[in-house]
Amino acid sequence: MTAVDDAKLKAYYGRFTSEAEIAVLQVPLRMVAAWSRNDANGIADVFTKDGILILPGDVYKRGRDEIRAFMAAAYAGPFKGTGVTGQPVDLRFVSDDVALIRTEGGILAPGAVEIDPELAVRSTWVCVRQDDGWYLAGYQNSPRGTGATLRW
Amino acid sequence: MGNDASSLVAKAKRWASFYGKYPNGEEGAVLSVPLRLRAAWDAGDADALAGIFTENGSMLVDDTQLQGPDEIREYHRRAFADRLAGTKRTEEPIEITFLAKDIAFAVTKGGVIARGGDVIAKDDVVCGSWVIAKRDGEWRLVSHQTSPIKG
């Protein structure tokens, strides 16, 4: 890892620096990485087998297969070349094996480095620990700011 | 049967319908949280509403993120006296799953009925997610968020 990558990660983790918190934050980081490749399989694999994806605009997907199909179509369509970004603003353990993260972020239009107001979201990540790491049992985002008009 | 009793029977029948496909069992117990929130909302009772949350509970109301029962109480005390006065909640459970023995994730569809209305406006229908955990034997609300479906 380069010094630049290291500094970026440190900025991302912010005040959530414990080993346990960093382990949970790998969930959104895996999502960001998969999205940067527009990799629908990679997105689906961040979720638990029966994980739930809820997005503004009547998107309610249950399980990896539904999520994979939905994201594959999105990346074939208007989301091709997009990225996603976000900053954790809250992280709470409900138990040792269940954690909630809230992030503020959004989609990056192709080539964009900052989130346009239309694409800004507030996200809740419901994470569960399984034998080989943390997975996403539920994800929902909601428009952030009055200018956030994106519906899926 | 007196009018009061008739009214209670009618209200009970309607209330029972709010459990949807989860009237009983652990799922029904989890649903007590959205139902208590609905009752507190309909009564405009900010104290009761805040009391449903865990100590670090959070709630996203439109674009306002509330963290902790105190913020939730204060926000709703003002809102129930103003822009949310006379509004009612309506929602149906879509799904309840268990993340661990005493931690559930619920999804509902519904929203807020404008003052004086009987039905929810199409643009006001939202999808709600609820993280609900049992604390000292009582199901409490850890996190609630909604996102628009049509609006």
pLDDT at residue B1, as a whole number: 60
pLDDT, tens digit (0-9, with 9 covering 90-100), for B16-55? 999 999 999 999 999 999 999 999 999 999 999 999 999 9
Alpha helices in chain A (DSSP H): 3-13, 19-36, 40-46, 63-76
Give residue A100's pLDDT: 98
pLDDT at residue B74, rounded to an integer: 98
Pairwise CA distance, residues A87 & A105, whole Å: 6
User: Quick one: pLDDT at residue B3?
Assistant: 86
Contacts of A140 in chain B (CB under 8 A): 127, 129, 145, 147
In which residue ranges of chain B is pLDDT below 50?
none
Two structure tokens written together for A105 = 């972020």
Which residues of chain A, if any, have pLDDT below 70?
1
Q: Which residue carries 């996200």 as its tokens?
A: A123
What span, in angstroms and rounded, lies between the C-alpha atoms of B70 and B51?
Answer: 9
Query: H helices then E strands: how many in chain A?
Result: 4, 6
- Taken in order A142, A143, A144, A150, the sign of the CA dihedral is positive
Token pair 């509403």 in the structure block, residue: B49
**Domains parsed from chain A with CATH numbers:** 3-143 (3.10.450.50)
Q: Would you list the DSSP string of B99-125?
A: EETTEEEEEEEEEEEPTT-SS--GGGE
CB A67 within 8 A of CB A51: yes
Strand order, beta sheet including A47-55? A59-62, A47-55, A133-143, A120-130, A98-108, A83-95
**Residue B73: Cβ within 10 Å count:** 19
Q: What domains, with CATH codes, occur in chain B?
A: 3-148 (3.10.450.50)
CB of B87 closer than 8 Å to CB of B107: no
Which chain B residue has its CA at the smallest distance from A89's CA?
B65
Neighbours of A19 (CB within 10 A): 6
- Cα separation, B18 vs B35, in Å, equals 8
Instruction: Sheet with B53-61: list strands edge to edge.
Output: B64-67, B53-61, B138-148, B125-135, B103-113, B88-100
Residue pair A87/A12 in contact by the 8 Å Cβ criterion:
yes
Q: Which amino acid is at B34?
A: P
- H helices, E strands: number in chain B: 4, 6
Question: What residues in A contact B129, CB-CB < 8 Å?
Answer: 52, 54, 124, 126, 138, 140
Q: Which residue has the tokens 């006065």?
A: B85
A95 and B107: CB-CB below 8 Å?
no
State how far residue B55 is from chain A, nearest Cα, in angstroms: 11
How far off is chain B from A152, nearest CA to CA, in Å?
9
| Residues on chain A touching B149 (C-beta within 8 angstroms) | 56-58
Instruction: Answer yes or no: are the C-beta atoms of B105 and A52 closer than 8 Å.
Output: yes
